[in-house]
Amino acid sequence: AVIAVNDLCAAGELFRKLGFTTAPMGVHPFGTRNINVYLDNGFMIELLSVHEPNLYQEANGRHNTFTKNDQAFRVTNHVPGISHLVVTTSDALRDHARFENAGVTGGPLVEFKRDFVDSNATKSSISVRLAFATPSGNVAAYWFSCEDINAPSFETRALLKHNNGVTGIQCAIGVADDPLHYVPFLENVCQ
């Protein structure tokens, strides 16, 4: 789950006060930065803020789907709030084609590389490919599948141990006036 925030440092501190272990801050090449919370069952919470507004707007001008959706969420919804839900994939290109065929594509693929620092301060890089899906009539729900193209191997135990005892999240609940409208969309995204 990607949570759009205005003050990343304050949001990270709040999660630490709530007993979560947070990863070091990450910087994206399109003007955003994040702090992640990794959970033992594979779920991840990504706190996301706009760090460099000029890069962010340039990315929007180049039709970067990630920043476009993030900006649309920030304009039309209360921040902080969950701006994206993400599923893991082994083939974002296949997902993008499937989303296009189903008429739910959220926009062009996004591929990027960024520096990564693990809990032992070991530096490496990570690269990912994102395929976006957006339900018809959308005003707040953005989805994407994320493929790790190059993910560093690192010691995760320190990042998975949380003082509050949380080991995972079991579900995400969406609220809609007409929930059945979203069933075909969700079946497609979570295929």
List the Cα angle 16/114/42 in 5-degree steps: 50
pLDDT digits (tens, 9 = 90+) for 53-106: 999 999 999 999 999 999 999 998 889 999 999 999 999 999 999 999 998 988
**Stretch (H or E) spanning 88:** strand 81-88
Does the pTM surpass 0.95? The reply is no
Spatial CA neighbour of 141 closest among 2, 7, 6, 17 = 2
Check: CB of residue 99 under 8 Å from CB of residue 133.
yes
What confidence tier does 118 reach under pLDDT thresholds 50, 70, 90? low
Between CA 69 and CA 67 the distance in angstroms is: 5
Matching residue, tokens 């609940």: 173
Between CA 6 and CA 51 the distance in angstroms is: 9
List the Cα angle 138/190/84 in 5-degree steps: 45
